[in-house]
Structure 1
């Protein structure tokens, strides 16, 4: 008889057809020493003389290792004839024979395959034969799907994939796996997650796993899955997406030194404008600063190998909201004589116009495939949300108190007993500031209420992309209230408190464009939707304030 090591795996096929399939495919993955074939009682037996990963327990279930024996071409042919598009989903093997990688090219040609999404935590060919997998991708012009993580940031770290996509020139597109929403039991919630993946995060490949609600029969889960897919396809087509065309290959060309120089020079000019409006320096001071800044930009971008694109994007996310607020403060201070309507129109023009420069600067700073595909991502979100608020306070003090009166203002403010009106506004401002910071960034510190979720779904149904809540709930209402109240009461504290709310919305507008994995057209439509809804809510805010004034006077 044959003796075998307990760690080895023995395969006993049920019939000759299965035996032929196993031998044909495993012989491309295992060497003759690793795959041993012999007859026993008239039946062919295979012994795998290599270490096989042991079964592991996941959430109480035993997950057996996938031996990755090979591809059933007859099944693939049948699926192709039924109209399915085949996506290659290979994994790595424990064997030392690399002939199976060459087989991929044959499969790609036979079944007209355009995409490859690796299965498991290692790519085919890792660690020593990644170049063979790269050759398959390059020669067949395949698109590699990189799977988005469950936290919707970056991509799944499949071992070897970084080297593969870099050496292949980034022929990539992003994949959303519906396994990430299996914890959701409501079919409607899963549907909206798919929609947001495409609209908000630029996902173009959905890896679909049938629903597995343990409380429902398998047939019901399958029916729910198919119904949700049909609804999802219909929604995507209604929003202008084509679900039947192959994905276009994105350019992997990276911005050059002169591109980065142009961005840095625009930031230099913007910074000098900001300082000029803030401190009113003499021309003799500005010209040397301009010359030094120009030489610095030349040195940083043309004579060093450092990449400052993230720094430029962060600078734009801070500079332009701060500059827009400074110009708005000057306008509010010096134009009491104009009507509320005109002041609102000019304020919106200042905020949107100046911030549009910031939006464009961020997009052009991060305009390469690594950011578009979320391989790299903007990491200065918290700083970009907080710094402009601090600069707004400084802007306010300079505009209303002057450079020399800041210290005196702070001393007087600390000694003054504020009235109930200002205390109320301050309390509202502090609550808004907390929610603003807690809900900012890639990971939120405050959970989303069910009411907000329902509101999001309504807005997503109406618009291509729903507007940001910071804009429509905080920013625009604060702007309308500020202009109305300041025009009426001439109290500078109104500008300080409500101006912070205006800044929150302004910052959010610019920050939307730092998510460059979202199409620029989608971010632009989101901003316009925010303007439309924000104006409506702003008018409602003025009406509510007016009614509140009436009630307050009657109460007194």
Structure 2
């Protein structure tokens, strides 16, 4: 019994799909069960809006909660916050204590002091917290309250934690709203006291504190985040993992807390001002974070730069719009729970290994290193057995898994491109065949890394750049070796270069540099492209990637046209190389393991059919407008 090359390829791809499907089941189930996102706001913004609108914080929050707010952020205050009056306490030097309270304390007038009036809300909470946070402080009980002289200077406490905002915690408790508590940085000698304070908070406010996130330039306890992680694990509280955070210690804490993590997206006021981000663009960013990256918490802040007569109504309308947009995407607006944990699947490793070996065999046949006209049953069985053994190695050793996956992605994009390009006599067969092979291989790669460590981006895939570069190189070498291009590599090297070739090579190198530079770097995307992306998202929901829509698939159709018409024999290689971008981008989409799987499939289908439509329109313009114009102009020149 023998298999043709086509049947052998189909058999291996079917086996890979079956294994990938089994491996992807936990991810698919997890994404379906956790298809939710919470909209959260800061308690201090509630107070600010209440003051601006002359309403009580309770009324303000009820309106925002009705609009779609799912939770509050309550922060531990640092010295800078207390100095600006964020809590109804006195914070300053002993010399500045009100009513002459510092005169009979016999303390240095420059020492840091806190005065807690007995008539304020939560005075007992603040008093107890200070005894835990600063056990070495001197405590003086007065008729009107309590004075604390702290064992630190004001400068030492400027950016480090002093007191929790108990007014915010009590407010959340009365409203029955989940809280993300932000624990402030702390000096290393104070770590133990800070952890004791946090442990007490999590115990006393266990009904409302549902997540914790470190604030400031470095996480509390840095460089050793184990005490913080131990407290949170003991209380069963996840960490809110801020996207693109540069905070020292954040990555270490995320690893220590895995899988108790909730991704969070926020845009700071400084970023809004520096990048001129409009409120509509902010809405688009929040929507994109939830639907494309599976972000679970979305932090919204009122506008600090856009004037309005009714800031509460404007913010309420923004919350309502975001909430409705999320629900329109079938994303439940509620406080989320973390993923459960599972590990790399053996089936996923086998699927990726089979695709990896198949791509090597197919490309070896194309370069006449192997011969695959027919494949015997024994050869097929041996191939599958080797794939199984390699799959076990991939499953057991992460380094092997990363190497195999990276080269699988690059070789897969190359083979899918060549499958599509060689069917110039039957374009539809090439468009479908190349797309399906890349789709199956992409699922196999996704199956390998579809577990929370990669879905939460604690580890990242390192093969993206290779996937963009390797297909260009392989297709070019293939075309020169197999004389798809009219000259061989030796002919091209030893003859004088043509100006047209130099221009094409320069343009191709410039385009490749731009693609590599922009990959993963949003700051290099111009404003007009952002606007176009937003428009495509509004119409298609799952926006196609530009490399597929505007370059890859149109170039593939142009190659079909020029090959069938026997035009531009020397220069049409450029269209073959550009066509590889469609399949490189398709494969790379499956390497974004944080993106929900259904969204990847939807996006790639949209990229395929929209790219074909755009390419067809370009062909019509070229055939019916540019060609007649060129012939007429050339005729005039010849005359």
TM-score range, shorter chain: 0.7 to 0.9
What is aligned with 1:465? 542
Q: Is the 8 A contact 1:278 1:326 kept in 2?
A: no
Q: Give the equivalent residue in structure 2 for 1:157.
A: 247
Partner of 1:507: 584
Distance in 2 (CA, whole Å) between partners of 1:20 and 1:295 is: 65
- Report how far residue 519 of structure 1 moved: 1.0
Counterpart residue number, 1:400: 483
Q: In the alignment, does 2:396 pair up with 1:318?
A: no
Structure 1 139/13 Cα, relative in aligned 2: closer, same or farther at 3 Å? closer
Contact 1:459 / 1:466 at 8 angstroms: preserved in 2? Answer: yes
| Bigger relative CO (Cα 8 Å, ≥ 6 apart) | 2
From the superposition, tell whether residues 282 and 408 of structure 1 become closer, same or farther in structure 2 (CA, over 3 Å).
same
**Aligned mate of 2:164, from 50, 57, 70:** 70
| Separation in 2, partners of 1:91, 1:485 | 64
Q: Distance in 1 between matches of 2:184 and 2:232?
A: 14
Deviation, 1:542, is 0.6
Q: Does 1:115 align with 2:211?
A: yes
Q: Note the 1:435-474 alignment, pairs <5 A.
A: 435-439=514-518, 441-443=519-521, 447-474=524-551
CA offset at residue 545 of structure 1?
0.8
After TM superposition, give the deviation of residue 119 of structure 1 in Å: 2.5
Confirm or deny: 8 A CA contact 1:324 1:351 kept in the other structure: yes
Tell me by how many angstroms 1:401 deviates. Answer: 5.5
Name the stretch that deviates more: 357-366 or 38-47. 38-47
Could you tell me how far apart the structure 2 residues matched to 1:187 and 1:521 are?
Answer: 28
In 2, the alpha carbon distance for the partners of 1:6 and 1:427 equals 71
1:518 and 2:595 aligned: yes
Identify which of 152, 167, 172 aligns with 1:50.
152
User: How far apart are 1:534 and its partner, in Å?
Assistant: 1.0
Matched, 1:173 2:262: yes
Contact 1:389 1:503 in 2 (8 A): yes
Deviations 1:187-240 (A, max 9, x none): 222222222222332212112232221xx4486655543332222222111122
- Does structure 2 conserve the Cα–Cα contact (< 8 Å) formed by 1:313 and 1:361? no
Moved more, 184-193 or 544-553: 184-193
Distance 1:81 1:92 in 2: 28
**Higher alpha-carbon deviation: 529-538 or 129-138:** 129-138
- Alpha-carbon distance, 1:37 to partner: 0.8
Cα offsets for 1:368-416 (capped at 9, x unmatched): 212211122123332221121111101212333699x73444257x447
Q: TM-score, normalised by structure 2?
A: 0.72
Partner secondary structure for residue 88 of structure 1: strand
Cα distance in 1 for residues equivalent to 2:224 and 2:629: 77
Look up the match of 1:275. Answer: 364
Specify whether residues 274 and 243 from structure 1 end up closer, same or farther in structure 2 by C-alpha distance, changes over 3 A only.
same
Matches of 1:167 and 1:451 in 2, distance apart?
41
1:28 and 2:136 aligned:
no
Q: CA deviation at 1:12?
A: 2.4
User: In 2, Cα distance between the equivalents of 1:173 and 1:110?
Assistant: 18
Alpha-carbon RMSD across the aligned residues, in angstroms, is: 3.6
Distance 1:503 1:395, change over 3 A: same
Q: Secondary structure at the residue paired with 1:38?
A: strand
Q: 1:168 to 1:350 in 2, by over 3 A?
A: same
Instruction: Mark the CA change 1:428 to 1:377 in structure 2 (over 3 Å): closer, same or farther.
Output: same
SS in 1 for 2:163: coil
- Taking the aligned partners of 1:138 and 1:42, their CA distance within structure 2 comes to 38
SS of the aligned residue for 1:203 comes to: coil
Does 2:184 correspond to 1:91? yes
Q: Quick check: 1:173–1:204 contact (8 Å CA) kept in 2?
A: yes
SS at match of 1:235: helix
Equivalent residue number for residue 10 of structure 1:
113
Q: Is the 8 A contact 2:169 2:205 kept in 1?
A: no
Q: Does the CA-based 8 Å contact 2:405-2:445 persist in structure 1?
A: yes
Deviation of 1:118 after TM superposition, in Å, equals: 2.6
Partner residue of 2:287? 195
3-state secondary structure, aligned to 1:374: coil
Aligned 8 A contact 2:184 2:214 in 1? yes
Larger % of strand: which?
2
**1:91 Cα shift?**
3.0
Match of 1:231 in 2: 321
- Structure 1 residues 317 and 8: CA distance shift in structure 2, 3 A: farther
Give the aligned length. 518
Contact in 2 for aligned 1:371/1:516 (Cα 8 Å): yes
* Residue 101 of structure 1 pairs with residue 101 of structure 2: no
Distance 1:402-1:493 versus aligned 2 partners, 3 A rule: closer
Question: Under a length normalisation based on structure 1, what TM-score does the superposition of the two structures give?
Answer: 0.81
Mapping of residues 221-300 of structure 1, within 5 Å:
223-244=313-334, 246-255=335-344, 259-260=348-349, 262-279=351-368, 281-282=370-371, 297=390, 300=393
> Within the alignment, does 1:369 sit opposite 2:369 as a pair?
no
Cα deviation, residue 477, structure 1: 1.4
What residue is the counterpart of 1:148 in the other structure?
Answer: 243
Alignment CA distance shift 1:305-1:424 (3 Å): closer
Aligned CA distance change for structure 1 residues 138 and 169 (closer, same or farther; 3 Å) = farther
- The equivalent of 1:58 in structure 2 is none
Secondary structure of 2:301's match?
A: coil
Following superposition, the deviation at residue 499 of structure 1 comes to: 0.7
Take 1:101 and 1:501, find their aligned partners in 2: how far apart are those partners? 56
Contact 1:475 1:506 in 2 (8 A): yes
Q: CA deviation at 1:185?
A: 4.4
